[in-house]
Structure 1
Amino acid sequence: MNEARIGVIGAGRISHVMAAAHAQVPESRLVGVFDVVRGASERLAEKFGIPRIYDSYQELLASDEIDAVLVCTPTFLHERIVIDAANAGKHVFCQKPMALTLEQCERMNEAAVRNGVVLQVGFMIRFTPPFAEVKERIDSGEIGDLIAIRSAVFGWEPTAEWFYDPEQGGGLLIDTIIHTFDLYRWYAGEVETIYADGGAYVFEGARKHGTPDNVMCSLKFRNGAMGSIYGSWSSGYGDKTLEIYGTKGSFFIDLMEAQGGRAFIKKDKQAPSPAEGWNNLGVLWKFGYQQEARQFTHSILGRVPPSATGADAVEAQKLAMLADRSIRQAAVLKV
Structure 2
Amino acid sequence: MKKTKIAIIGNGSISHVHMAAYRKLPNVEVVANCDINEERAKEFAQKYEISHCYTDYNEMLEKEELDGVSICTWNNVHAPATIAALNAGVNVLCEKPLALSAKEAEEMVQTAKKNDKLLMVGFVRRFGLNTKVLKDRIDQGDLGQIYYAKTGCIRRVGNPGGWFSDKKRSGGGPLIDLGVHMIDLAWYLMGKPKAVSVMGSTYDLVGARSNIKGIQQYRSADYSDYNDVEDFAVGFIKFDNGATLVVETSWAQHIKKDYLYLELYGSKAGATMEPELEIFTEKNSFLIDEKPIIDPTFINFQTMFDREIEHFIDCIQNGTPCISPGEDGLELMKILDAIYESAKTGHEVRIK
Query: TM-score normalised to the size of structure 2?
Result: 0.84
SS at match of 2:248: strand
Distance 1:281-1:34 versus aligned 2 partners, 3 A rule:
same
SS at match of 1:24: coil
Inter-partner Cα distance in structure 2 for 1:321 and 1:238: 26
Once the two structures are superposed, the pairs formed by residues 252-263 of structure 1 within 5 Å of their partners are: 252-255=272-275, 260-263=276-279
Inter-partner Cα distance in structure 1 for 2:331 and 2:137: 23
Count residues with an aligned counterpart: 325
- In the alignment, is residue 233 of structure 1 matched against residue 251 of structure 2? yes
The answer (yes or no) to whether the contact 2:74–2:163 under 8 Å persists in 1 is no
In structure 2, give the amino acid aligned to 1:190: K
Inter-partner Cα distance in structure 1 for 2:274 and 2:305: 20
Inter-partner Cα distance in structure 2 for 1:16 and 1:92: 17
Q: Which residue does 2:115 correspond to in 1?
A: 115
- In the alignment, is residue 134 of structure 1 matched against residue 134 of structure 2? yes
Larger deviation: 289-298 or 55-64? 55-64
Give 1:100 deviation, angstroms.
0.9
The answer (yes or no) to whether the contact 2:76–2:168 under 8 Å persists in 1 is yes
In structure 2, give the amino acid aligned to 1:279: K
1:289 aligned to which of 305, 308, 312? 305
Give 1:181 deviation, angstroms.
2.5
Inter-partner Cα distance in structure 2 for 1:38 and 1:317: 31
Give 1:24 deviation, angstroms.
2.3
SS at match of 2:66: coil
Q: Which residue does 1:280 correspond to in 2?
A: 292
Distance 1:55-1:161 versus aligned 2 partners, 3 A rule:
closer
The answer (yes or no) to whether the contact 1:85–1:92 under 8 Å persists in 2 is yes
* 1:129-179 CA distance string (max 9 Å, x none): 312322222111111111211112135722225423332111222222112
- In the alignment, is residue 305 of structure 1 matched against residue 309 of structure 2? no
Q: Which residue does 2:150 correspond to in 1?
A: 150
Once the two structures are superposed, the pairs formed by residues 124-203 of structure 1 within 5 Å of their partners are: 124-154=124-154, 157-171=158-172, 172-188=174-190, 189-203=193-207
Q: Unmatched 5+ residue regions in structure 2?
A: 210-225
Distance 1:2-1:132 versus aligned 2 partners, 3 A rule:
farther
SS at match of 2:283: coil
Inter-partner Cα distance in structure 1 for 2:258 and 2:311: 24
2:267 aligned to which of 247, 259, 262? 247
Inter-partner Cα distance in structure 2 for 1:64 and 1:45: 15
SS at match of 2:198: strand
Distance 1:295-1:148 versus aligned 2 partners, 3 A rule:
same
Q: Which residue does 1:314 correspond to in 2?
A: 330
Q: Unmatched 5+ residue regions in structure 1?
A: none
SS at match of 2:5: strand
The answer (yes or no) to whether the contact 2:175–2:250 under 8 Å persists in 1 is no
SS at match of 1:327: helix
Distance 1:90-1:132 versus aligned 2 partners, 3 A rule:
same
The answer (yes or no) to whether the contact 2:122–2:324 under 8 Å persists in 1 is yes
Query: TM-score normalised to the size of structure 1?
Result: 0.88
Larger deviation: 162-171 or 293-302? 162-171
Q: Which residue does 1:332 correspond to in 2?
A: 348
Once the two structures are superposed, the pairs formed by residues 15-30 of structure 1 within 5 Å of their partners are: 15-30=15-30
Inter-partner Cα distance in structure 1 for 2:129 and 2:307: 10
Give 1:76 deviation, angstroms.
1.1
Inter-partner Cα distance in structure 1 for 2:196 and 2:16: 38
In structure 1, give the amino acid aligned to 2:241: N
* 1:267-315 CA distance string (max 9 Å, x none): 168xx9xxx6422353332521111101111111124211222111111
Once the two structures are superposed, the pairs formed by residues 40-119 of structure 1 within 5 Å of their partners are: 40-54=40-54, 56-119=56-119
The answer (yes or no) to whether the contact 2:138–2:189 under 8 Å persists in 1 is yes
Give 1:239 deviation, angstroms.
5.9
* 1:157-208 CA distance string (max 9 Å, x none): 2222542333211122222211222223312222222111231121069xx9
- In the alignment, is residue 218 of structure 1 matched against residue 258 of structure 2? no
- RMSD (Å), alpha carbons: 2.5
Inter-partner Cα distance in structure 1 for 2:13 and 2:23: 16
Q: Which residue does 1:35 correspond to in 2?
A: 35
Give 1:220 deviation, angstroms.
1.9
Distance 1:167-1:268 versus aligned 2 partners, 3 A rule:
farther
Larger deviation: 34-43 or 231-240? 231-240
The answer (yes or no) to whether the contact 2:146–2:265 under 8 Å persists in 1 is yes
Inter-partner Cα distance in structure 2 for 1:7 and 1:144: 43
SS at match of 2:169: coil
SS at match of 1:266: strand
The answer (yes or no) to whether the contact 1:124–1:292 under 8 Å persists in 2 is yes
Distance 1:216-1:56 versus aligned 2 partners, 3 A rule:
closer
